[in-house]
Amino acid sequence: MAKIADFRFDADVADVFTDMIERSVPGYRSIITMIETLTEHYAQPGSKLYDLGCSLGAATRSMARGIKAEGCQIIAVDNSAAMIARCEETIGEFHTCEGVKFIESDLRAVEIEDASVVTLNFTLQFIPPADRAALLEKISAGMRPGGVLILSEKVVFEDAHLDGLLADIHHDFKRAHGYSDLEISQKRSALENVLIPETIPAHRDRLLAAGFTSVDVWFQCFNFMSMLAVK
């Protein structure tokens, strides 16, 4: 059988991205909606808000809608030229903040400063595990006290039974949203070396070591979860 190429965030993926992520990630819509509520709670006057790995800007828009504090700026970062170009074209106008700045870059190279809200919404899982601690330390160092990192990830479980069960249920979810068994298995191969999930305790321990003071899961649906890490 032909080898399946590694998954890439190119123009073809950008074209179908919103449909793909909604049909693939249980709870994605709920998380996007709640990012607005969380931003309302955590955005501080005159601070910066970062959406790291913004894709087409779903979380960016929720952050913009949620801001109630005066004088905030949003910075949306993605290293896919196709994603960031489309995000910039379609983001729309917001009167809640002093605008959205788009940066096409590897998020590991972007400076984080004076931040009150940072989202890594299903992005950290694409960063090589060896680079994750340094990235989270950089984010933590660039945040104001009382600010929040919203970290959403696909996860694995230490318990082998639960891990297998939740992976199977996720495949059922994808099947129910119109993906065939062949598509599911080809996507799994394409993501194998690209999306590397970790356990919830591994995420929690690393966030605490990076300097966040309060860390826990606020949302979970099968093997997808979102955490709050308060600085």
E strand or H helix at 215 = strand 214-221
Task: Print the binding letters for residues 121-140 with ligand GEK: x by CB under 6 A, - otherwise.
Answer: xxx--xx-------------
E strand or H helix at 198 = strand 198-199
* Residue 39 found at the interface with ligand GEK (CB under 6 A): no
What tokens appear for 102 in the block?
């788009």
Q: Does residue 228 contact residue 150 with C-beta atoms inside 8 Å?
A: yes
Closest to 118 in 3D by CA, of 137, 99, 131: 137
The one segment of 49-57, 142-150, 173-181, 213-221 that binds ligand GEK by CB under 6 A? 49-57
Which one among 79, 186, 199, 220 touches ligand GEK, defined by CB under 6 A?
A: 79
Q: Which residue is nearest to ligand GEK (CB)?
A: 53
Which one among 107, 118, 139, 143 touches ligand GEK, defined by CB under 6 A?
A: 107
- Minimum separation from the CB atom of position 151 to ligand GEK (A): 11
β-sheet bridge partners, residue 115: 48, 143
The one segment of 76-84, 136-144, 174-182, 209-217 that binds ligand GEK by CB under 6 A? 76-84
* Residue 142 found at the interface with ligand GEK (CB under 6 A): no
Q: Residue 45's CB: how many other CB atoms inside 10 A?
A: 11
Size of residue set near ligand GEK by CB under 6 A: 20
What tokens appear for 64 in the block?
């913009």
Determine phi and psi for 37, rounding to 5 degrees.
Answer: -60, -45
* Residue 83 found at the interface with ligand GEK (CB under 6 A): yes
* Residue 9 found at the interface with ligand GEK (CB under 6 A): yes
Q: What is the rounded CA–CA span in Å between residue 74 and residue 140?
A: 17
What tokens appear for 141 in the block?
């160092």
Q: Which residues bind ligand GEK (CB under 6 A)?
A: 9, 21, 53-55, 58-59, 77-80, 83, 106-108, 121-123, 126-127
